[in-house]
Amino acid sequence: MPDPSFIVAIPARYGSTRLSAKPLRPIDGVPMVARVAQRALQAGATQVVVAVDDTRIAEALAGQGVEVCMTRADHASGSDRLAECVAHYGWPDDAIVVNLQGDEPFAPAAGIREVARALAEDDAPMATLAAPIEDAHELFDPNVVKLVRGANGRALYFSRAPLPWARDAFAASRDALPAHTPFLRHIGIYAYRAGFLRQYTRLSRTPLEQAESLEQLRVLEHGHAIAVRLSPEPFPPGIDTEADLLRAEAWLRSQA
């Protein structure tokens, strides 16, 4: 199947509790949000839109070859911000919209294409990516979101807890992962059908979503499917703190 046509929408909020003015923070002299936009263009999106809430972000994107959609400042989530873009541009219900986070400046183009392909090849309203977990520390880290999926390639559950629980192996030791158990880390990139993004904003928050603080659980709790594919390339960590910025600079130098 040829690569599907898709739109990339990048929510970029100026305020951040852990990193002030995060979209504008430079990485090797280039604002973070501009690097994210460049990745979306490299992936072959038919349209790249950055959903912003501050004119300073819009100014940083001048000349980048992307569109800027000024959105309300009071949105509760990036998905809500993108739903405003859907309404603004009038994208058709079956359009594939990839939500690329504004703090993922090194997201691989192949991964962006893969999440769009996952949605195009499934009749689920939403898709995401995962990667194998390779060490026990990662599995037991609550900051790493785990997921389990069914034989049909759709998500069964997302959690900050270690999933699945290898009962017998972990009763003996939690220092190593048992073989032949599909431990998966969730990668926070999503593809939606535009019509579902319109619907998503009307879904009420749910108990599991609030308990785990994982927005994607709202989708599952309301009975909607999420297709899951393995990422074809690693996703370097996103950027949330000053230390992350320093690591990003070091990573970029290592790629030169």
Contacts of 28 (CB under 8 A, 6+ apart): 249, 252, 253
Minimal CA–CA distance to 200: which of 221, 183, 226, 218? 218
DSSP 209-222: HHHHT-THHHHHHT
Higher pLDDT, 19 or 188: 188
Task: Give the pLDDT score at 221.
Answer: 97
- Tell me the per-residue pLDDT of 209-245, one tens digit each, with 9 for 90 and over: 999 999 999 999 999 999 999 999 999 888 888 888 8
Average pLDDT over residues 117-128: 97
Average pLDDT over residues 120-127: 97
Does the pLDDT value for residue 61 go beyond 70? yes
Minimal CA–CA distance to 252: which of 44, 50, 35? 35
Task: Give the pLDDT score at 1.
Answer: 61
- Tell me the per-residue pLDDT of 137-193, one tens digit each, with 9 for 90 and over: 999 999 899 999 999 999 999 999 999 999 999 999 999 999 999 999 999 999 999
Alpha-carbon gap, residue 184 to 162, rounded angstroms: 10
Does the pLDDT value for residue 41 go beyond 70? yes
Does the pLDDT value for residue 117 go beyond 90? yes
Alpha-carbon gap, residue 147 to 194, rounded angstroms: 24
- Tell me the per-residue pLDDT of 76-105, one tens digit each, with 9 for 90 and over: 788 888 999 999 999 999 999 999 998 999
Both tokens of 34, joined, read: 């501009």
Both tokens of 165, joined, read: 């629980």
β-pair type (7-12, 146-149): unpaired
Higher pLDDT, 118 or 237: 118
What mean pLDDT value characterizes the chain? 93
